[in-house]
Structure 1
């Protein structure tokens, strides 16, 4: 299925969430409460941090926005992008800066491998956070100046994503 066919098809689906991975449509599993809470908290944390940093050109989105990478269309749980506003009728974000995925039983391997490789193919992506839904654990993947991707488990407390220069805490991803 082409990207255009996929986006048109998704708009016609009455229920469910879908991604297109290497041209194949993949249904996303129904969410559990902890997953839904984490992704909402992630979007809220990104939005708050951008506002507090005075980054008025940044927009934080929850799921529902599509990120296109080669022959795939992913729907991250939250993202932050900076620059001209995304048009109100857009279904895609071409230049995310920060991407967040909350692990779920059916997508854990995909989030930690397939999406990790794919997301960093986008030149705009500087940070990819993988959030565990049921324990306070966040893995931070970041693009280094030489292009390599560094990975670390974030300790409790404050952390900074630079660029764009925002500060959050691990704990705020776990607020209910």
Structure 2
């Protein structure tokens, strides 16, 4: 009689073809994070990359910060200007106050030409106050659980926040 507790057998461990070099991927971030390499354990810092196209250009902006493990370490996601325009991403510095660091997209009420200009601004911490008004107003305006007067007031507030975004963009002629 055979012992079925260990059936099917565990697969054999795969040998590392190059044990001298250890590559740790996905540790790109705003702060240089160490990657250990070789027997001497010298530190190699990985440059941040765009999370969409993997570019390492100078115009990368942090767009999300996700806690890893016990929450003391964060994984920072970056995006370049063309990717922030294509997927209308809000920079991390302009996230609303109640945000936990996940990805935020500019709402549909924000026109594309404004998204282009906002992406050219890069990190824009002065937009945080406007996004604190914009995101809750858009959420209430789209909600079916509030009455029509509150939705109308929220839609007006969202339009006022978009006007404030236009005012925050330099060289804008109304």
Q: TM-score, normalised by structure 2?
A: 0.28
Larger Rg belongs to: 2
Whichever structure has more strand as a proportion of its residues is 1
Q: TM-score, normalised by structure 1?
A: 0.28
